[in-house]
Amino acid sequence: MQDLPRLHAQALSPDAMLPMTEGQAHYLGAVLRRQPGDEVRLFNARDGEWSATIEALRKGRGRFRLDRQLRPPLPEPGPTLLFAPLKRDATDLVVRMATELGAAALHPVLTERTVSARINAGRWTAIATEAAEQCERLSVPEIAGPVRLPELLGTWDPGRPLLVALERAAPEGAGSLAAWRARTPSGLQPGLLVGPEGGFSPDERALLRSRRFVVAASLGPLILRAETAALAGLAALAG
């Protein structure tokens, strides 16, 4: 039996007719070679996951008929990943893998050593949506607009921990992210801030240390690439 295509869609309800996006029609028809009458799965965070049938499919357009609910909507809490944008391929990897690792939101943070200030929210959303379709989650991470580090710290909820990978600048004895998660109530979802290639500047490290909600955490004895650090941190929090 073929695996059923799984697509993110809006406004799911019994017996509804839902138009396909142009991208969905192309993917189902030209890539997967599906036809009217074939079954698919549609989902979103508000309505859960549904079985649907391809009612019509032509070049660049089509529609679904909603059948029955397969999974009800369920909360999918997760940490917020805050990271300095990297070169395009590295950023694409972070967005994709962060979605698979359960990040609830992705926030680009501009630092003194940020490699690229270009933020393509549409591209990031498309990558996160495709990753959510593949990894069986119901929600797609929120993609926030870029913010400079001082502004981020000035508006951060002080009651919510902001875990920061400070590399070797972390104070001696700083605990690991996994140890922090093990001793913290599961309902508390922190932010995880990862700096750019080359790390935070001395002024930025001082600024971070001046905030009581900032928790310096270790990712281990090795110095990791920025994209590796982001994914290792999320994996530690998920574990």
72-85: per-residue pLDDT in tens? 999 999 999 999 99
pTM for the full predicted model: 0.89
Average pLDDT of the segment spanning 18-35: 94
Q: Write down the pLDDT at residue 115.
A: 81
Residue (of 184, 188, 194, 178) closest to 231 by Cα position: 194
pLDDT value of position 174: 55
Q: Which of 12-21, 163-172, 223-232 has the lowest mean pLDDT?
A: 163-172
Residue 2 has pLDDT above 70, yes or no: no
pLDDT of residue 173: 45
Q: What domains appear along the chain, each with residue ranges and CATH number?
A: 6-71 (2.40.240.20), 80-238 (3.40.1280.10)
The pLDDT assigned to 189 comes to 87
pLDDT over 50 (residue 206): yes
Task: Give the pLDDT band (50/70/90) at residue 119.
Answer: confident
More confident residue, 43 or 226: 43
Q: What per-residue confidence (pLDDT) applies to 129?
A: 97
- Mean pLDDT for the chain? 90
Q: pLDDT at position 141, please? A: 96
CB 63 within 8 A of CB 17: yes
Residue 47 banded pLDDT, cuts 50, 70, 90 = very high
Q: What is the mean pLDDT of residues 17-22?
A: 94
78, 190 Cβ separation under 8 angstroms: no
Query: Between β-strands 17-19 and 61-71, what pairing exists: parallel, antiparallel or unpaired?
Result: antiparallel
Which token pair is 210? Answer: 């001046």
Residue-wise pLDDT tens digits, 144-183? 999 999 999 999 999 999 999 876 544 444 567 877 777 7
- Asked if pLDDT for residue 1 goes beyond 50, the answer is no
What integer is the mean pLDDT of 189-215? 92
Backbone φ/ψ region at 60: left (φ over 0), alpha (ψ -120 to 50), beta: left
Residues 64-114: tens digit of each pLDDT: 999 999 999 999 999 999 999 998 899 999 999 999 999 999 999 999 999
Q: How far apart are CA 116 and CA 107, in angstroms?
A: 14
